[in-house]
């Protein structure tokens, strides 16, 4: 657990800077991609990766229905979805309460509208603090495809997903092996995801986290490789320990990210930002709120 005596420590600032530097890279990619009518058509036709493993879910309908039955719930979150919309079929199913979720949701929704894409609206949410956007113990299945390695803290993201999942709910991960190494840690690629001796591992140049071992009292973790992808099926068995839950510093980070979104593109984020500030401020004590206010002023001066 962190201390409320400071807003951000050096490690957290470095994590934030790495994540921030990737925002413009990600948004620019989609801006250029959507300039091509052929690319827009592939999104509208739900054929964006056409045969690629990226975005696919290697769970059968039978497995998914079994998860729904065991949890007595049919809510599915596609977290860190970007503008892939790869699970559009599940979204359109009358029997599934499906949500696309991404921290850059507001940007992507405006790009989709500007490009006249016939796609669902993406909901705002950080993986690292998913339980702030969605109720605890409320969801049957969470899907993360090639997005967890983009996080500033992927293990915190996994824990937050487990907090939102109902008992026996499943977190499904599909990621290209060691993507950060392959991309020389460019853009959002700050962590590698792979299996080591059957265990799920997150690592980069400064950290190595054995996720399977860390979650041994909370969840069952099954892993396997498929065509260069690391697949993990994490089933929630017990409630999440309080020791895994982040303190108010994470709220400060979320406000910081929302503020930084104001500086990208010619898009109007004011209404969106005010909503985020209002939503988060009621969850802070006065001391933390004052520190967040000072942090925002600092960030705005730099942007």
Strand 97-102 relative to strand 123-124, pairing: parallel
Higher pLDDT, 228 or 79: 79
**Predicted confidence (pLDDT) per residue in 28-83, tens digit:** 888 888 888 888 887 777 654 433 344 567 788 899 999 999 999 999 999 998 88
pLDDT for the residue numbered 188: 75
pLDDT, position 52: 39
65-68 — which CB contacts under 8 Å span 24+ positions? 67/140, 67/141, 67/168, 67/169, 67/170, 68/140, 68/141
Residues 170-212 have pLDDT tens digits of 999 999 999 888 888 777 778 999 999 999 999 998 899 999 9
What does pLDDT average to over the chain?
79
Mean pLDDT for 255-272 is 48
CATH code for 10-247?
A: 3.40.50.150
Mean pLDDT within 155-160: 92
Distances (CA, A) of 27 to 20, 33, 104, 245: 12, 10, 9, 30
Q: How many CA atoms lie within 13 A of 79 on its CB side?
A: 32
Give percent of the chain with pLDDT exceeding 90: 34
Q: Which whole-number Å values give the CA distances from 177 to 49, 193, 208, 218, in the listed order?
A: 18, 6, 15, 25
pTM of the model: 0.79
């Amino acid at each position: 657990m962190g201390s409320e005596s400071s807003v951000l420590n050096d490690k957290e600032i470095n994590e934030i800077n790495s994540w921030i530097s990737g925002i413009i890279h990600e948004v620019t990619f989609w801006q250029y991609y959507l300039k091509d009518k052929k690319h827009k058509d592939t999104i509208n036709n739900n054929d964006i990766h056409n045969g690629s493993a990226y975005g696919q879910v290697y769970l059968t309908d039978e497995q998914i229905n079994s998860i729904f039955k065991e949890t007595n719930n049919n809510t599915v979150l596609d977290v860190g979805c970007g503008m892939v919309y790869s699970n559009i079929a599940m979204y359109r199913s009358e029997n599934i309460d499906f949500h696309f979720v991404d921290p850059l949701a507001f940007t992507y929704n405006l790009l989709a509208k500007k490009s006249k894409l016939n796609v669902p609206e993406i909901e705002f949410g950080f993986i690292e603090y998913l339980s702030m956007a969605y109720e605890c113990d409320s969801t049957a299945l969470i899907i993360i495809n090639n997005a967890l390695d983009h996080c500033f803290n992927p293990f915190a993201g996994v824990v937050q997903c487990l907090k939102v999942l109902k008992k026996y709910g499943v977190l499904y991960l599909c990621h290209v092996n060691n993507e950060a190494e392959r991309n020389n840690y460019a853009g959002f690629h700050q962590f590698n995801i792979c299996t080591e001796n059957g265990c799920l591992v997150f690592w980069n140049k400064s950290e190595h986290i054995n996720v399977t071992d860390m979650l041994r009292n909370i969840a069952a973790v099954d892993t396997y490789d498929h065509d260069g992808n690391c697949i993990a099926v994490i089933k929630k068995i017990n409630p999440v320990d309080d020791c895994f839950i982040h303190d108010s510093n994470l709220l400060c980070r979320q406000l910081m990210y929302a503020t930084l979104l104001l500086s990208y593109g010619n898009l109007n984020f004011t209404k969106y930002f005010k909503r985020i500030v209002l939503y988060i401020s009621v969850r802070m004590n006065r001391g933390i709120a004052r520190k967040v206010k000072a942090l925002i002023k600092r960030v705005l001066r730099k942007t």
